[in-house]
Amino acid sequence: MFQDDPKTLVSTAWLATHLKDPDLRVLDASWYLPGSARDASAEFAQAHIPGARFFDIDEISDHRSELPHMAPPIEKFMSRVRDLGVGDGHQIVVYDGAGLLSAARVWWLFKLMGQNNIAVLDGGLPKWTSEGRELTAEPPVIRDRHMFARRVDAMVKDVTQVSHAAKLGDYSIIDARAAARFRGEAPEPREGLRAGHIPNSRSLPYTDLLNDDQTMKSADEMRGIFQAAGVDLSKPAITTCGSGVTAAILCLAMERFGKSDHALYDGSWAEWGAFPTVPIATGEA
């Protein structure tokens, strides 16, 4: 049975009930792969959940890095969320236009910055819309509010740390990309990347965790899916994907079934696949 949890996942019914709460803040974190022919910002301007603010994961990122949408410096994060009128004492709900694609990335980013009062909207904008709930094109009224952030370094890993983990086997490394990309049988959407996966990682496509309506499966179902994928849940976990977006869905899933010792490889395959000195594996795990 689904349970609303303001620290992980809430239903559309929960959000509808709390939408006018004075300390609720809603974020639209829609994002799409290049070539998808979708413009998240333009779609937000046309229709969004009332009061929602647009969270641009490409802009609110570390522009000093050549890698896509890497976690921003803490000062930039605090400045941007203040500009969105999001601050201390707010309950945040984040959604996206795909159902569940990029919203979990923003959930993870807030947790990385020491913020725990944030939940993903289960089923996202498609479910909200299919239920005939209110949409608007009106921009929100924004008032600055300070947020104190404190980066939780244990929640993120870099290429050196992941390389050590792959060699030592002291972490379960879990890959959220499609199985064909994991095996090296399908090309990467970004040019110039080798095909395959991090040695000693396990394949668990994020889509396996979702129902047909893009809501998340139950906590017990998701735990079973991790175990069926060969993930050793007794070890701390590192999640990875193409560019650090859908890897966060695996983190959210683990949080839902009570596993909190997880971290996200921020560079993911966009970095590993371009790095000439790190090994890659192909085929099944």
- Of 275, 285, 187, 153, the C-alpha closest to 232 is 285
251 is catalytic: no
Residue 147, token pair as written in the block:
């947020």
DSSP character string of 94-158: EE-TTSSSSHHHHHHHHHHTT---EEEETTHHHHHHHTT---B-PPPP-----------GGGEE-
Length of the chain, in residues: 285
The end-to-end CA distance of the chain, in Å, is 33
* Cα 180 to Cα 1, 3, 243, distances in angstroms: 32, 33, 17
- 69: phi then psi, degrees, rounded to nearest 5: 35, 50
CB 115 within 8 A of CB 206: no
Catalytic residue among 70, 100, 106, 241: 241
Residue 15, amino acid: L
The C-alpha atoms of residue 55 and residue 26 are separated, in whole angstroms, by 10
The C-alpha atoms of residue 213 and residue 215 are separated, in whole angstroms, by 6
Phi-psi map region of 180: left, alpha, beta (phi>0 left; psi -120 to 50 alpha): alpha
Q: Which residues are catalytic?
A: 241
